[in-house]
Amino acid sequence: MSGNRNAHGFTLIELLVVIVIVATVTSIVVLSTGLIGEDSELDTERRRLATLIETVQEEALMQGREFGIELMQSAYRFVEFDPLTHQWMEVPFDDLYRLRDLPEGLEFELYIDQKRVTLIPEPLEIDDPDNNMLSTGVQTYLPHLFVFASGESSAYEIRIRRPLSNNELIMRGNILGAIEFGEDDEM
């Protein structure tokens, strides 16, 4: 019976140490998952924009329409070229091409020909095709990127950034319309 006396369970101190270790590891995992969750938001927005651009490219090819993409600091929209008025206009009655805002804390950087394009916070005003008065010195509206009915597109690099954490994801498009994803490499 004296041999069974040494076979006791864990002490209270041993149990508390194990609980502290498990709690510490759990909190580290939870914090790491939160950081990865922020990066997944960047990836989600990049994939959403790429999917919309691919949809516009298919529609341009199949219907012989020409589209443009205007990027703002934290938003984007699609516009369509009207061959009758020779002007760009918002795509009417199509929710797919509406103005879309990025989630709070995200913003765009746009590079065309390896030069950074200054993006403004709000969409530019599109000329009214019904207004026949032409003002001299007024610049006509042009989107940043073009998707032509031939299947060709503007070459670009779009960076979706989270400035507070310096995270960014890159999306590049070439003149043939192919889109590829890059990592946070520097220019």
Q: Which helix or strand (DSSP H or E) is residue 81 part of?
A: strand 75-82
Q: Is the pLDDT of residue 2 over 60?
A: no
More confident residue, 4 or 20: 20
Class of the 12-129+140-182 domain?
A: alpha beta
Any idea how long the chain is?
A: 187
- Phi, psi of 15, deg, nearest 5: -65, -40
Instruction: Read off the pLDDT of residues 67-106 as tens digits, 9 standing for 90 and up.
Output: 999 999 999 999 999 999 899 999 888 888 899 999 999 9
Cα distance between residue 48 and residue 15, in whole Å? 48
Domain locations along the chain: 12-129+140-182
- Give the mean pLDDT of the chain: 83
Cα distance between residue 173 and residue 120, in whole Å? 21
CB 69 within 8 A of CB 62: no
